[in-house]
Structure 1
C-alpha cells in the first residue's frame, strides 16, 4: 500500500522534519532552532536521540521540548563549533536568504547559526518566495529605541508595529521587544541586514543573509525538494 501523499501544512512540516535527520552525524552536538517545523524535527529526533551527544538550543521553548525528550542541552559557550544547525524560516528565497523571527527567537537563532558549519533550513512550500518581504519582518529592539526605529522604517516605506501579546509588548527571551515591519521588498538582503543592524537600538534584524541557508529541505505534495545554495553570500 502506498503512503498517502502529504497535502496539509502540518504533514509537510512533519515530512521535512524527518528528512532533516539525514543531515545529522553520529556522536555530535547540533544546533536546533525554534518553531512548529522545528518541533516536528525534534519529535523525529527523539526517536533516535542516541545518535547525538546533545544540542545547543535557540530558545527557552526549544530547550524545554528537547529536555522533555531526554536530549541534553548545552550552553552555546560550552561548544566551540556545531556540525549543523537545523531551523525553519518564515520566508526563504532562491539564494538561501531568509526572513526569520516569527517565533521571536531571531537573536538566539542567529547566534547558534553563526556557530554551525552548515545551516539546513526546513520549510513547507508556502515559505518559498522570489523576493523577501511578504512576511512581516521581525526586528528585536531595545524598548527605549522602538519609536525612533519605527520612524526609520517609515522613511524606507515600511510600517513597523510593536508586537503585542495579551495587549502588552511581547518580551523576548532576551528581555527586549519585537517590531514587525510590513511594506518592504528586500531585494538586496545582505546590504539591508547590515544597514538595519547598524541602527542604534536594534538587537537583531530578522533577515538572515550573512547566516543564510546552505541547504533547504522544502516540503511539497510531491515530496521533499532539496535545494542547495552555492556562491557568495555568507
Structure 2
C-alpha cells in the first residue's frame, strides 16, 4: 500500500473508537482528513451524536461541512478523546508535531483531553526524535532576534515560508523550524525552548499520547503507552 492508503487505513480505524455523546478533539493534517470523513459517515448513517473540538480552522470547516457539530475548546468542559497525527514518534511515545503549523492549538486541545490517540503510517515511527525539523511558533514581533538566538545555539533555524512569504499559523504567528538531526535530551530542550521570550510553543509532545495506531504494509498495529490499555 502507498502512504495515502496507510493514512486512510488508520484514519478509518481510529473513527471506530469514537462513541456516542463523546466530546472529540480533531487534529490536523492529511491523515486526520480520513478520520473526519469516516466520522462524517457515522454521523450521517449511524446518527452518531458527538461534539468536536478542532485544532485548526481547516479541520473545523471540513468537519462542519460533513454535518459534525464543532465547538470552541473554550465552550466545552473537557475533551474525552483527541485523535491526531504526528510527524515523528519515538520508542518512548514522545513525538514531534507541527508539520502543518498547528501544534499550538493541537497541544492546547491535547492537554485538555482525558486521552490522546495518534494515527500515523509506519514511516513516522523512529528510534530517536530529530530527523523531522522541530517547529517553533513565534510571535512576529522580534522574531528575527529569536532566530538569531537559536542560530547562535547551533540549532540551525529556518523561517518556514511558502511562495516567498513566511507561513502564518491560525493565530497569525510565524514558524521557525529547527533542523537538529537528532534530539538527545527532549525534555531538557523543551524546557529551554518554552522559556525563550517570543516562543509561544514548540512541537515536542512529551508524555502526552496514550494510544498509537500505525498503518504498516502488514496491516494495523496498535500500541499503548505502558500503564494504558487500548480502548474497546
Name the TM-score class by shorter chain. Answer: over 0.9
Partner of 1:42: 36
| Cα contact 2:134–2:180 (8 A) shared by 1 | no
Q: Alignment partner for residue 20 of structure 2, among 22, 26, 43? A: 26
Counterpart among 100, 121, 124 of residue 124 in structure 1: 121
| Matching residue of 1:4 | none
Distance in 1 (alpha carbons) for counterparts of 2:49 and 2:17:
12
1:224 equivalent in structure 2: 220
Give, in angstroms, the shift of residue 150 of structure 1: 2.1
Please, which runs of 5 or more residues in structure 1 have no aligned partner? 1-6
Deviation beyond 4 Å, 4+ runs, structure 1: none
Q: Secondary structure at the match of 2:189?
A: helix
Aligned to 1:164: 161
Cα distance, 1:86 vs. partner? 0.2
Aligned partner of 1:14 among 8, 11, 17 = 8
What TM-score, normalized by structure 1, do the two folds share? 0.92
Q: Alpha-carbon deviation of 1:82?
A: 0.9
CA contact (8 A) 2:132 2:181 kept: no
Contact 2:97 2:103 in 1 (8 A): yes
SS at match of 1:144: coil
CA distance in 2, matches of 1:144, 1:78: 30
Task: Report the Cα offset of residue 184 of structure 1.
Answer: 4.1
How many residues are matched?
225
Could you tell me which runs of 5 or more consecutive residues in structure 2 were left unpaired when the two chains were aligned: 228-232
Q: Give the Cα–Cα distance (whole angstroms) in 2 for the partners of residues 35 and 42 of structure 1.
A: 11
Contact 2:28–2:56 under 8 Å retained in 1: yes
Q: Is the 8 A contact 1:150 1:159 kept in 2?
A: no
Q: Report the counterpart of residue 93 of structure 2 in structure 1.
A: 96
Map 1:113-152 to 2 at 5 A: 113-152=110-149
Moved more, 86-95 or 44-53: 44-53
8 Å contact from structure 2 (residues 86, 124) kept in 1: yes
Taking the aligned partners of 1:150 and 1:82, their CA distance within structure 2 comes to 35
Q: 3-state SS of the aligned residue for 1:73? A: strand
Distance in 1 of aligned mates of 2:90 and 2:16: 23
| CA-based RMSD | 1.5
